[in-house]
Amino acid sequence: MDLYDSVFFLSKKDETPEILKTYLLQIENLFNLSVKTIRSDHGTEFKNATLDSFCESKGISRQFSVPRTPQQNGVAERTNRTLIEAARTLIVDSKLSLTFWAEAVNTACFVQNRVLITKSCNKTPYEIMYKRKPVIDFFRKFGCVCTMLKTSDQLNKFEAKADECYFVGYSSNQ
């Protein structure tokens, strides 16, 4: 079964433990469930004292794949490849700079969670996760021209009330 995907962008790998801890706690609180197992590769970002103590305190078991064998982590590897290919398509089609790669990956993840149908359930990952159909009528083409309302109170009488921009993704909290 396909799962709801989330992506996080890090400056350094040592940010992983805190982001993972926060994410796991959010998932547990949001769905009133407890995480039982974390599967990962043998990367140092997943094997450290911080995550060891967190997992031990929460009763989370850890499973590691054999080093340098991405085929053992097939689901994650296929998901990564799918998101990267979708992001590449978004960037090429929009003719935006490659500097927007993270926004493109984030947008690809957001859209795929809401439109790809899981064969076994005949539902989207969003429907499986939140138990309701996703609203998609607000979707826009990545890279399309849009306007952003200026909210400053300091606008001069004849100053434009909006700036022309390019659409590069959806908000994660609205």
The CATH number of the domain holding residue 159 is 3.30.420.10
- Domain span at residue 139 reads 13-166
What are the distances in angstroms from CA 114 to CA 5, 42, 82? 10, 31, 15
Given a contact cutoff of 8 angstroms between Cβ atoms, the answer to whether 146 and 140 are in contact is yes
Per-residue exposure over 47-77, b if at least 16 CB sit within 10 Å of its own CB, e if not:
eeeebeebbeeeeeeeeebeeeeeeebeeee
Task: For residue 3, tell me if it sits in a domain.
Answer: no
Task: For residue 94, tell me if it sits in a domain.
Answer: yes
pLDDT of 106 reads 97
- Please give the structure tokens belonging to residue 168: 């590069």
Task: For residue 104, tell me if it sits in a domain.
Answer: yes
The model's pTM: 0.86
- Please give the structure tokens belonging to residue 96: 């935006």
Q: Indicate the number of domains in the chain.
A: 1
Q: What's the pLDDT tens digit per position in 17-66?
A: 999 999 999 999 998 989 999 988 888 888 899 999 999 999 999 998 88
In sequence order, the 6+-apart residues with CB closer than 8 A to the CB of 13 are 43, 44, 45
HSE, CB side, 13 Å, CA atoms: give it for residue 163. Answer: 8
Task: For residue 158, tell me if it sits in a domain.
Answer: yes
Task: For residue 174, tell me if it sits in a domain.
Answer: no
